[in-house]
Structure 1
Amino acid sequence: MKLEPYERSTGQSLAEDYKHRFERVRDLYVYNVWDETCWEERAAWLDQSRFSANRTELVHSLIRYNDRLGNDPESFEALEQLRRPETLVIVGGQQAGLFTGPLLVIYKAATIIQAARQASEQLKRPVVPVFWIAGEDHDFEEVNHAYTLTPQLQVEKLKLELERPMGTRTSISRLTIDNWEDALNQLDNSLLDTEFKAPLLEKLMDAAGKSKTLTEFFGRMMAWLFGKHGLILLDSDDAGIRKLEGPMFTRLLEHRHEVNHAVLSGWEQVKRLGYSPQAEAHPDSANLFIFEDDGERVLLYRDGESLTDRKKERRYDPQQLLEWVSHQPERFSNNVMTRPVMQDYLLPVLGAVLGPGEIAYWGMTRSVFEVLGMQMPILLPRRELTLMEGTVQKHMEKFGWTIEDVLYRFDEKKNQWLREQDQLKLEERFAEVKEQFLELYRPILETVASINPGMSKLGKANEQKIIEQIEFLETRSTEANQAQHEAALRQLERIRLSLLPLGRDQERVYNVFSYLNKYGTDWVDELVSQPLSLQPVHSIVYM
C-alpha cells in the first residue's frame, strides 16, 4: 500500500480554517491540535478532580457490550487498561450504517486507533481507542443503505427494508430487524466473484444471524475489522451506559436555560466569524430527547416552566422528568449539542476524532462545556482518503489525466479528448454548414418579408426547423463516431465512477465491502498500522 499526501478542500469553510488557518477560529476551540503541547495540557486537566461517570461501572458495562459483539481479546486488554485512573481515551463515532456504511467510517476508526497509539507514546501513559456508535439516533432512512459499484459500472444502492411500517421514530438501537436476507442477497449480486467473496458473505451472514438490530450488526462488523487493534465499541443507547448517564442528564435538565443560552451564544459566535452554523439552535430548545412509552424519540422544548414537544402536543413537568432520570435514565437521550459533553462525562477524553462537519458544529459547543464546569477536548480531523485501484490508475495514465482533472474538470477533459479523436472534424464541418446555410437563407428572408411582412415570421420558423434538422444529423453523426471509441469511453466512465461517484467524494458514497471483496482485509490492517498524519489530512491510497 502506498499513501500519497494530497491536499483537497472539503467545501466546509470552518473546518478548512481549523486545519489550515487555526488563528481565525481560535476563539471557538480550546486546544490547537497543531501545537504538540496541547496533549500534555489536556492530560493534566483530565487528571484534576472532575465531574465524571464511575470508571469501574463504565468498564463493566463496556465489557458486557463488547462481549456480546464478540470483540477480540485486544479490545478487552484495552478495557482492562481503562480501569486504571491514568488511562485516557481517543474517541470518535458515527451512526450505525448498513454493512458499516460509507468508507469514511472505516477511516474514522483507523484515525482513532492511530491517534490513541501516538498519544500513548508521546505521553508515556495508556491511551485507548473508543468508537462511539450513535445508536440513539432515529433517522432509519439515513443509515439503512450502502452503495457499491457493480461490474456493469452502475452505482447500486443496497437497501435494508423493514418488513413492517416503522411507525414511531425510535432509536436505531431499539428498532428490531426481522430479516437480513434481502440486503445480503443484494450485496452478493453486486460483488464480483473473487477468492474473498465466499468468506466475506459467510462472515456477514453469521453476524446478521446473531444481530437483532442494525446497531448490533454494525458493531459486530466493526469488532471484526478493528477489534484486533484494541478498538473498544460503545453504543450510546446501551442500557448500561444510560444508567451511568443519569447524573449528567440531571445536570443538563437543571441547567437547561444556561446550556441553551450557551448553544445560542456559540451559534452567534460562529455567525460573527463569517461561517454558516452546522447545527440548529432554537431559542427554546432543552437540547435533550425523551423516549415516550411507545418508543418514539421526542425532542424537548421549554415552554415557560414546562417542557413540551415541538408542536406542544405533549407537556412534561420538570420535576417529573428529574424523577424519571433517577429511575428510568434510559428514557433520555442527547441531541447533537449535548452529545459532546455527555461523551466527555462518560470517558476521560483526551481527544475526539471528527469529520469536517463535526468540527464545524463542535465550534458551537465551547460555552456548553464551560457552563457545565467542563472543557472541550482536543479535536483531531479524521483522515480523508481516496482509494486508487490499479486499473483506474492505468486508465488515468493512458489518458494523461491527473486526480485534479477527474475531480474538478472531468467533463471538460472528456470533451476535449473526444474532439481530439474527431478526425472527420464533424463539429467544425457542421458549424460551417450552418453558417453557410444562414448566409444563403437570410437574404431570401429579407426578400419574402418585403413582399409581405407576415412572411417574415413563417420564414424564421422555417429557418429554425432546418437548423434543428442539421443539428439532429450532427448529434447522430457524433454519436456514431463516438461509438468507435466505446472501450475508451467506458474506461473514462470507470475513472469517474471510481473516484467521484454521484458527483461526491468516494469516501462519502461507497461501502468498504466491495474493496474487501477485491483485496481482502489486509489493506485495512495496513492502513491502521500507518502513523497518524494530520497535515495534509487527505491522501491517495494506491491499492
Structure 2
Amino acid sequence: MTTESYQLSSAQPLTEAYIHRTDSRLNTLFGYHSGCEQDWEKRANSLHNNSNTRASSLDVANVLRLYNKRMNATEETMSAISSLAEGSPVVIGGQQAGLWTGPLLVIHKAVSIIKAAKSASEQLGITVVPLFWIAGEDHDWDEANHTYVITSDQELRKLSVARPEGARTSVSRTLLSSDTWVRLIEELEQSLPHSEFKPQLLEQLTDMSKGSYSLSDMFAHMLSHLFGREGLVLLDADDPELRKLESPMFSRMLEHNDELESAYVSTGEAIKEFGYALQAEVTASSANIFLFHPDRGEERVLLYKRNGGYEDRKGISSWTKEELLQIAAERPQLLSNNVLTRPLMQDYLFPVLGTVLGPGEIAYWALTGEAFKVLGMEMPILVPRMSFTLVEGIVAKNMEKYDLTFADVMERFDARKEKWLKDQDSLAIAEKFGIVRANFEASYKPLVDLAASIQQGLAKLGDTNMTKILEQIDYMESKTTDAHQKQFEASIRQLERIRLALHPSGKPQERVVTMVAYWNRYGNSWLHNLLEAPYSRTGGHEIVYL
C-alpha cells in the first residue's frame, strides 16, 4: 500500500482557522486544541477529577453491553465496554445512520475515532475507548435513506428506500419490514459489479438484515462487522435504555434553558463579529430540545418557549415547564437532543477525552463552549476527522497514462481533458475552421456594407444572413470534431472513469460513494489500508492507493 498527502479544502473558514491556529480569538470558543499534546493530558486529568458530575460509568456500560451484544459485538468490543465501566475515557464521534452506511466519510470518521483513541492511549498510558454515536434520534429521513454505487457500466446509481407510512419520527423508530430488506438487497445485487467477494457480501448483509428493524440497526450491524476487531463500541442515541440515564441531564437543560439560550445567542454573535458564518441555526426562544409527541405517533417536534411555557412550532400543542420536567423524570424516552444540546448530553454520559468531528461539525460546535460552562462543564478536545480518497489500480494506471495528478482530477479535470483531446488533433480542425470563419467574415462584411449603401434595410438582413452562415460553419466544426473524437472514445471513457472514481458529481469521493463498492471489489483489504494509513490529530487528507 502507498499513500500520498493532499491538501483538501474544507470550505469552512472557521474550521480551517481552528485546525491551523491562525486566529487566536477562537481560543475563547474552543479552549483545548487537538494538536497540543499537553491539552490531552490536561483534559484527561480534568475528567479524572470530575467523575462525580457524570452519569454512572457502570450504568452506561450495562446499557452498551446489551445494545452491542444485539449487534453481534466482538470480544474486543465487549472488553472495551468493560474498560468503560471502570472509568476509561473515550474518543467519540458519530453520524446519522445511512443506507448501506451512506457515503465513505462515515467510514473515515470511524477510522479516525479508532486511530485517535489509539494515539491517546499510547501518549497517556491508559485505555482510551473508541465510541461511535449513531444519531438514531434524528428524523431527517431524506438524509439517511439513500446512498450511491458505481455500477459495472461505470454509472453512478442512487439506491434509496422510501419512508414507511406513519409519523415523522426518528430514523431508529421508523421500522422497515423484512420484505423491504429483501428488495433492497436485490437492488444492491443488481447494481454492484460481479466480483469474487460479492456472494459472501450479499450473504452477510442478508444475515444482518434478519436482526435489523430499522436503518439504524443495519447501520450498527455493518459497523460492528467492519470494526469489531478494533474494539469500536456502538450506541444508538435513541436507545430507550440509554435515554433513562439521560433523565437528570434533560432536567438540568430544562431548568437552565434560558441561560443556555443566552449562551448560544451570545456566542453566535461573537462568531459573527469575528467574521465567520454560523453553521447551526440559533433560533430565538428555541429550547433546543425535541419531544416525541405522544399524541401524534411520536412525531419528533422541536420545543419553543412561548407564553410562559413550551409549544411546538405551530403552537398546536403546549406544555408547562413542570409537565416537561415530569416527562424528563418519568418518560425521558419522549425527549431528544438537537445539534446544540447533543454535545452536552454526550459529555454527561461519557468521560469524553476528545470528539472526532467533520469540518461543518467543528464550525457549529464553536457555538457550544459557553453552554458547557452554564452547566459547570467544559468542551472536550475537538479532533478533526481524517479524510481519504481510495484510488484503485486501474484508475491509478489510467492517471499515469494521461499524465494526470490527483490535483488535476480534483481541480482542473475538464481543462486537462480538453487539452489532451486537442493535443490529439493532428488535423488542426479548430485552427482550419477558425481560418475559414475569419476569411468568410472578412469577405462577406464588405458585401453587407455594399447592400446597405443601396438600401439601408438590407443591413439587418445581411447581418442575420452572416450570423446564420457562421452558425452553420460552427455546426460543421462541431460535427467534424465529434467524428474525429470518436476515434478516442475508449480514451474518453477511461478519462471519465477517473473522474467518476475520484470526483463523482463534482464532489470528493467520500461525500458520494458508499463503502460497499470497495467491500464488493476488495473484501476487507481496502479497510485494512485505511486503518494503516498515516494519521494526524489535526486531520488531513490521504490518498490511499489500493
- Mapped to 2, the partners of 1:487 and 1:431 lie a distance apart of 28
Residue type at the aligned position of 1:498: A
- The structural deviation recorded for 1:276 is 0.9
Equivalent residue, structure 1, for 2:229: 228
RMSD: 1.2
SS in 2 for 1:173: coil
> Residue 5 of structure 1 contacts residue 536 of structure 1 at CA under 8 Å; is this kept in 2?
no
Equivalent residue, structure 1, for 2:2: 2
| Structure 1 residues 35-87: Cα deviation after superposition (integer angstroms, max 9, x where no partner) | 100111001111123421121111111001001111111100001111113x1
Equivalent residue, structure 1, for 2:79: 77
- The structural deviation recorded for 1:139 is 0.6
| Structure 1 residues 1-36: Cα deviation after superposition (integer angstroms, max 9, x where no partner) | 222222221211111112223544222201011110
Equivalent residue, structure 2, for 1:386: 389
Task: Say whether residues 1:463 and 2:430 are aligned partners.
Answer: no
> Residue 387 of structure 2 contacts residue 539 of structure 2 at CA under 8 Å; is this kept in 1?
no
Equivalent residue, structure 2, for 1:479: 482
Residue type at the aligned position of 1:505: P
SS in 2 for 1:365: helix
- Mapped to 1, the partners of 2:302 and 2:366 lie a distance apart of 22
> Residue 257 of structure 2 contacts residue 287 of structure 2 at CA under 8 Å; is this kept in 1?
yes
> Residue 386 of structure 2 contacts residue 541 of structure 2 at CA under 8 Å; is this kept in 1?
yes
- Mapped to 1, the partners of 2:417 and 2:78 lie a distance apart of 52
- Mapped to 2, the partners of 1:114 and 1:22 lie a distance apart of 26
- Mapped to 2, the partners of 1:419 and 1:26 lie a distance apart of 52
Which blocks of at least 5 consecutive residues in structure 1 are unaligned?
Answer: none
> Residue 114 of structure 1 contacts residue 531 of structure 1 at CA under 8 Å; is this kept in 2?
no
> Residue 7 of structure 1 contacts residue 536 of structure 1 at CA under 8 Å; is this kept in 2?
no
> Residue 100 of structure 1 contacts residue 218 of structure 1 at CA under 8 Å; is this kept in 2?
yes
> Residue 192 of structure 2 contacts residue 517 of structure 2 at CA under 8 Å; is this kept in 1?
yes
- Mapped to 2, the partners of 1:353 and 1:477 lie a distance apart of 54
- The structural deviation recorded for 1:492 is 0.6
Percent of pairs with identical residues? 47
- Assess, with a 3 A threshold, how the Cα gap between structure 1 residues 418 and 522 changes in structure 2: closer, same or farther: closer
- Mapped to 1, the partners of 2:149 and 2:501 lie a distance apart of 10
> Residue 159 of structure 2 contacts residue 188 of structure 2 at CA under 8 Å; is this kept in 1?
yes
| Structure 1 residues 211-268: Cα deviation after superposition (integer angstroms, max 9, x where no partner) | 1111001000000001111010000000111000000000001111000111111211
SS in 1 for 2:54: coil
Equivalent residue, structure 1, for 2:536: 533
Equivalent residue, structure 2, for 1:188: 189
How many matched pairs? 540
SS in 2 for 1:290: strand
Displaced runs of 4 or more, over 6 A: none
The more displaced of 369-378 and 518-527 is 518-527
SS in 1 for 2:167: coil
> Residue 40 of structure 1 contacts residue 123 of structure 1 at CA under 8 Å; is this kept in 2?
yes
> Residue 390 of structure 2 contacts residue 544 of structure 2 at CA under 8 Å; is this kept in 1?
yes
- Mapped to 1, the partners of 2:360 and 2:455 lie a distance apart of 66
- The structural deviation recorded for 1:526 is 4.1
Residue type at the aligned position of 2:503: L
SS in 2 for 1:172: coil
| Structure 1 residues 373-402: Cα deviation after superposition (integer angstroms, max 9, x where no partner) | 100000111111011111111111111111
> Residue 303 of structure 2 contacts residue 310 of structure 2 at CA under 8 Å; is this kept in 1?
yes
TM-score, normalisation: structure 1: 0.97
SS in 2 for 1:237: coil
> Residue 144 of structure 1 contacts residue 160 of structure 1 at CA under 8 Å; is this kept in 2?
yes
- Assess, with a 3 A threshold, how the Cα gap between structure 1 residues 125 and 536 changes in structure 2: closer, same or farther: closer
- Mapped to 2, the partners of 1:443 and 1:140 lie a distance apart of 66
| Structure 1 residues 82-106: Cα deviation after superposition (integer angstroms, max 9, x where no partner) | 1113x11000000000111111111
- Mapped to 2, the partners of 1:90 and 1:428 lie a distance apart of 61
Task: Say whether residues 1:170 and 2:172 are aligned partners.
Answer: no
Alignment of 1:375-524 (within 5 A): 375-524=378-527
SS in 1 for 2:367: coil
- The structural deviation recorded for 1:161 is 2.7
Equivalent residue, structure 1, for 2:41: 40
SS in 2 for 1:524: helix
- Mapped to 2, the partners of 1:495 and 1:534 lie a distance apart of 30
- Mapped to 1, the partners of 2:467 and 2:525 lie a distance apart of 62
> Residue 92 of structure 1 contacts residue 112 of structure 1 at CA under 8 Å; is this kept in 2?
yes
- Mapped to 2, the partners of 1:70 and 1:539 lie a distance apart of 31
SS in 1 for 2:153: coil
Task: Say whether residues 1:303 and 2:306 are aligned partners.
Answer: yes
Equivalent residue, structure 2, for 1:62: 64
Residue type at the aligned position of 2:431: E
Residue type at the aligned position of 1:512: M
> Residue 291 of structure 1 contacts residue 298 of structure 1 at CA under 8 Å; is this kept in 2?
yes
- Mapped to 1, the partners of 2:537 and 2:433 lie a distance apart of 53
- The structural deviation recorded for 1:271 is 1.0
Residue type at the aligned position of 2:67: Y
SS in 2 for 1:180: helix
Residue type at the aligned position of 1:473: M
- Mapped to 2, the partners of 1:161 and 1:262 lie a distance apart of 39
- Mapped to 2, the partners of 1:259 and 1:345 lie a distance apart of 15
Residue type at the aligned position of 1:267: G
Residue type at the aligned position of 2:307: G
Residue type at the aligned position of 2:183: D
SS in 1 for 2:168: coil
> Residue 266 of structure 1 contacts residue 367 of structure 1 at CA under 8 Å; is this kept in 2?
yes
| Structure 1 residues 429-469: Cα deviation after superposition (integer angstroms, max 9, x where no partner) | 11111111111111111111112111111111111111111
- The structural deviation recorded for 1:530 is 4.8
> Residue 288 of structure 1 contacts residue 333 of structure 1 at CA under 8 Å; is this kept in 2?
yes
Residue type at the aligned position of 1:210: G
- Mapped to 2, the partners of 1:523 and 1:458 lie a distance apart of 66
SS in 2 for 1:302: strand
- Mapped to 2, the partners of 1:118 and 1:214 lie a distance apart of 31
Equivalent residue, structure 2, for 1:338: 341
Equivalent residue, structure 2, for 1:256: 257
- Mapped to 2, the partners of 1:500 and 1:358 lie a distance apart of 23
Equivalent residue, structure 1, for 2:156: 155
Which blocks of at least 5 consecutive residues in structure 2 are unaligned?
Answer: none
> Residue 34 of structure 2 contacts residue 383 of structure 2 at CA under 8 Å; is this kept in 1?
yes
- Mapped to 1, the partners of 2:423 and 2:128 lie a distance apart of 57
Alignment of 1:203-282 (within 5 A): 203-282=204-283
| Structure 1 residues 254-299: Cα deviation after superposition (integer angstroms, max 9, x where no partner) | 1110001111112112111111110000111101000012110000
